[in-house]
Amino acid sequence: MNRRTARRTAVAVLALLTALLLAFAGPAAAAHRSADPPVTVTFRTVPAVPGVRLVFAGTSLVTGADGTASYTGARTADRKSLQLLDTSVSTPDARYRFARWAGQRDPDQTFRPRVDGLPLRADYTITAGFAVQYPVTVSFTDQHGTPLDPSRVSAVKVKGSDARTTDLSVSGTTWLDGTVPVFRNSRLTPVPVDYTLRSLVYDGAELADAGRQGFRPGADRHLTFTGAFHDLTVTAHDALFGSAAGDRATVTGPGGQATTVALGPDHTAVLPHLPRGRYTIEVKAPGGTTSPREVQLSQAVTADVTVVSLTDVLVLAGAGLLVVGIPVAIRLRRRTRRTAAGPAPDDGAKPGPTEPRGPVPPEGPESPPEGPESPREETVSPPEELVSPQEEPESPPLPEQSEGEEKAPSSSRPGAAAR
């Protein structure tokens, strides 16, 4: 056998072996592929909500009593879609509202009811988180447990631990979030929501102590809120004499509502069971006036109002006249006396010599004689208009003194030196 023939024989043998291998390898590979385990995707609701419908990979599913549903299918590289059909479920005791997903792989689809691009290569779980609402009703009492009229309540506000404020129905039912799903430690956990009373308005008065009355929906279905009420006693007295005064009082409450009550024989009136707050009191008296008084009603209070009566006004007016009139009367009396007395009378006494005002120069030949023109020789005559007709005639002038003698100055009437 030559070489060419040997090569052809070897090639034929290899081809035959390849064909045999392919004939046996194909069924084995198919059997191996058919032996791969199926993939299971589990759907869970938090909290457990039965009866929730959804569609995955074209298959309709419904959650059972434990709030779960599952899909099992062949392993594949194809991407699948999930659609939540029931985004809300209502029962007599609770309402469930879809909030978010967990385990859906794509963060951009966390809050959408439809999720696309889910794989079927391995088992995994997708969780749907629901917020749960519970019904609550309210009633109102005072601090002693006495029921309050709900028709006089105008507003009730509560604030949750999720920082949201909600208005409650006074006479009906309000649904409040009781739990909300929170993503913690790579899983959804239902977290309860706690509430506190923020506002309770009764007849315009704010009764709520913010943050002091709290509750949790679900555990507390019927709520009773308490407000503080106290008695207000009104009395009045006279401003000057302190005696009881006034015949009626007008009390204006925090909401602007005014109530007028008559004062009793003792000039007092009691307004019982008023909501706490700031009140304005004004007392009316015949012919009198009063300034409004404000009181903060946080306990039983007696408000004593000062009344300025007509008698007080007359007394004050008389006192004012006395204070102003007495000085004026005194001045007028003095002026009248001066006018009646006239000018001071002259007693007719002759003026006498007065002491020299300066040092007397010594007598001697060196002293120049005083001439007749010396000012010391002049006499001062009183004005003609000051001399009354009854006065005596003027005294003759004194004789001239000899040379060398000093003449003392004289005055024409008493008191001239003093002037």
pLDDT (tens digit, 9 = 90+) per residue, 268-326? 999 999 999 999 999 887 766 677 889 999 999 999 888 776 565 556 566 666 676 67
Burial level of 342, CB count in 10 A (0-12/13-18/19+)?
exposed
Q: What's the rounded Cα separation, in Å, for the pair 104 and 124?
A: 10
Output 286-290 pairs: Cβ under 8 A, ≥24 positions apart: 286/247, 286/310, 287/313, 288/245, 288/246, 288/312, 288/313, 290/236, 290/246
Phi, psi angles (nearest 5°) of residue 29 = -65, -40
DSSP strand pairing (88-90 vs 214-215): unpaired
DSSP strand pairing (95-102 vs 205-206): unpaired
Predicted pLDDT at 238 = 75
Phi, psi angles (nearest 5°) of residue 109 = -110, 20
Range 173-197 burial, b when 16+ CB lie within 10 A, else e: ebbbbbbbbeeeeeebebeebebbb
Q: What's the rounded Cα separation, in Å, for the pair 22 and 414?
A: 172
Interacting residues of 226 by C-beta distance below 8 A, sequence separation 6+: 140, 141, 142, 143, 213
Mean pLDDT along residues 148-162:
95
One-letter amino acid for residue 157 of the chain: K
Of the candidates 209, 197, 216, 211, the residue with the CA atom closest to the CA atom of residue 156 = 197
Of the candidates 186, 76, 213, the residue with the CA atom closest to the CA atom of residue 125 = 186
Tokens 């072996």, located at residue? 17
For the sheet with 268-275, list strands across it.
268-275, 229-238, 301-308, 289-290
Mean pLDDT along residues 123-130:
96
Phi, psi angles (nearest 5°) of residue 115 = -125, 130
Q: What's the rounded Cα separation, in Å, for the pair 208 and 199?
A: 5
Contact 180, 219 (CB under 8 A): no
Predicted pLDDT at 359 = 55
Beta bridge partners of 124: 41
Q: Higher-confidence residue: 412 or 208?
A: 208
pLDDT (tens digit, 9 = 90+) per residue, 55-107? 999 999 999 999 999 999 999 989 999 999 999 999 999 999 999 999 988 99
CA angle 189, 192, 194 (to 5 degrees): 155
Q: From residue 411, give the alpha-carbon distance in Å to each of 356, 358, 419.
A: 12, 17, 10
Check whether 356 has a pLDDT greater than 60.
no
One-letter amino acid for residue 30 of the chain: A
In the chain, the N- to C-terminal Cα span, in Å, equals: 187
| Sign (positive or negative) of CA dihedral 18, 22, 23, 25 | positive
Phi, psi angles (nearest 5°) of residue 253 = -85, 180
Check whether 367 has a pLDDT greater than 60.
no
Structure tokens of 159? 């604030």
Check whether 192 has a pLDDT greater than 80.
yes
pLDDT (tens digit, 9 = 90+) per residue, 388-413? 444 444 444 544 444 444 444 444 44
Q: What's the rounded Cα separation, in Å, for the pair 71 and 276?
A: 63
Check whether 174 has a pLDDT greater than 80.
yes
Q: What's the rounded Cα separation, in Å, for the pair 164 and 177?
A: 10
Beta bridge partners of 284: 248
In DSSP notation, 128-140 reads EEEEEEEEEEEEE
Of the candidates 316, 167, 334, the residue with the CA atom closest to the CA atom of residue 238 = 316
CA angle 320, 325, 326 (to 5 degrees): 110
